[in-house]
């Protein structure tokens, strides 16, 4: 696996892309509906929780030298490893679908109101199939090549929104009660949990000088960029933020001279989807890794079979919810969040306990011998 390992630089870029692709479209607007101008606090709370759990996987990256699912199989048995793969795979199935549905809204809002869903699904399922079947190394190189364009699109959004910023619109702080903030933090946990990208980097990343520190820095920078964007979004629209469903499009409408003379906003509109395509590819690749692990002993051409299964699962979710955002969103926030909380936050703790307990037992046996 070492020849397919991503570098620390590539891993940081992949993490950044995965984090922004599902948070900088409609999530700020959605959270503003309940939390009003305190929506950014939910991001801070969730990022703080996620950071603590990311430290668990960063510890695994330093101490485990092989893919984590393979490691679990060798140390705890085939059944345990398959259970973990299935649990994690379901999470990434819905993460992949969530970004696809959100991306569909982006294109409907930006290009054509009656954008054909079949055409869209055909295009983006091709992305799922292609990127899902690649090695993490390929995704890392692609992220490295296109990272400058993604940063450029974000910079355009930030610059064009500067004129609209009114700090008073974010006041008073904590005007929303803590119960609402806590409820929204829990219900929208599917949109977070980005530290799970580290789960798939275990054994697939080159351990370089200060790898852990660099990954922590990448995570914190990504959090800062997203929180800054949400704060600017709220400062631009205030209590009407929930009415602006595609945040990075609407936030650029406050620079009429730049829009009228050169349409600079289109630079952001047509470069930001690069992050959406890569984000879908990263999530689909994580899903395919779980599927491939489960079918690896049943089929000879496991990669071909697994990517077909991965694509079929994404299609199934899209068909069930008719590729409509509201039914999907209602299901995720009313029912699925129980499962997401259990897997997203309980599994890392259980794995940490299992691995450390086993290490202590082995150490005691060695001392006894």
**pLDDT by residue (tens digit) across 91-131?**
999 999 998 888 888 887 776 667 777 788 788 888 888 88
Q: Which single residue is written with the structure tokens 């619109």? A: 169
Supply 253's token pair.
């409408």
* Of the candidates 39, 35, 14, 100, the residue with the CA atom closest to the CA atom of residue 229: 39
How many angstroms separate the CA atoms of 146 and 150, rounded? 7
Contact 124, 103 (CB under 8 A): yes
Q: Is 83 exposed, middle or buried (0-12, 13-18, 19+ CB in 10 A)?
A: middle
How many angstroms separate the CA atoms of 244 and 280, rounded? 23
Query: Which is the CATH superfamily of the domain at 2-368?
Result: Amino acid/polyamine transporter I (1.20.1740.10)
Low-confidence stretches of the chain (pLDDT < 70) are 1-4, 111-113, 254-265, 297-301, 366-369
Taking residue 305's Cβ as centre, other Cβ atoms within 10 Å add up to 16
pLDDT recorded at residue 1: 40
pLDDT recorded at residue 43: 95
Residues composing the chain:
369
Residues paired with 78 in a beta bridge: none
* Of the candidates 154, 101, 124, 84, the residue with the CA atom closest to the CA atom of residue 277: 124
How many angstroms separate the CA atoms of 250 and 273, rounded? 15
**What are φ and ψ of residue 20, in 5° steps?**
-80, -25
pLDDT recorded at residue 258: 47
Contact 61, 202 (CB under 8 A): yes
**pLDDT by residue (tens digit) across 190-244?**
999 999 999 999 988 988 888 899 999 999 999 999 999 999 999 988 888 888 8
pLDDT recorded at residue 263: 60
């Amino acid at each position: 696996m070492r020849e397919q390992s991503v570098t620390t630089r590539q891993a940081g870029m992949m993490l950044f892309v995965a984090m922004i692709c599902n948070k900088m479209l409609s999530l700020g607007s959605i959270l503003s509906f309940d939390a009003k101008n305190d929506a950014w606090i939910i991001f801070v709370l969730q990022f703080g929780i996620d950071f603590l759990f990311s430290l668990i996987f960063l510890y695994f990256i330093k101490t485990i030298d092989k893919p984590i699912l393979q490691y679990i199989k060798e140390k705890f048995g085939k059944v345990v490893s398959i259970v973990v793969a299935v649990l994690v795979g379901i999470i990434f199935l819905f993460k992949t679908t969530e970004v696809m549905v959100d991306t569909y809204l982006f294109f409907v809002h930006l290009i054509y109101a009656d954008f054909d869903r079949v055409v869209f699904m055909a295009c983006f399922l091709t992305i799922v199939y292609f990127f899902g079947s690649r090695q993490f190394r390929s995704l890392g190189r692609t992220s490295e090549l296109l990272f400058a364009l993604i940063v450029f699109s974000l910079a355009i959004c930030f610059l064009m929104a500067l004129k609209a910023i009114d700090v008073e619109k974010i006041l008073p702080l904590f005007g929303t009660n803590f119960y609402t903030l806590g409820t929204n933090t829990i219900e929208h946990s599917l949109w977070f949990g980005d530290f799970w990208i580290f789960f798939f980097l275990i054994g697939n990343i080159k351990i370089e000088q200060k790898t852990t520190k660099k990954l922590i820095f990448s995570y914190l920078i990504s959090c800062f960029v997203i929180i800054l964007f949400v704060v600017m979004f709220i400062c631009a629209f205030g209590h009407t933020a929930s009415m602006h469903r595609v945040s990075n499009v609407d936030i650029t409408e406050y620079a009429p001279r730049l829009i009228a003379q050169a349409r600079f906003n289109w630079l952001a509109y047509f470069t930001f989807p690069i992050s959406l395509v890569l984000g879908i590819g990263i999530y689909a690749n994580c899903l395919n890794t779980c599927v491939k692990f489960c079918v690896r002993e049943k089929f000879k051409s496991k990669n071909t079979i697994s990517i077909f299964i991965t694509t079929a699962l994404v299609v199934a979710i899209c068909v069930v919810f008719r590729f409509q955002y509201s039914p999907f969103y209602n299901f995720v926030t009313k029912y699925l969040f129980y499962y997401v909380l259990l897997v997203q936050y309980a599994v890392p703790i259980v794995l940490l306990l299992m691995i450390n307990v086993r290490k202590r037992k082995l150490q005691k046996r060695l001392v006894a011998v």
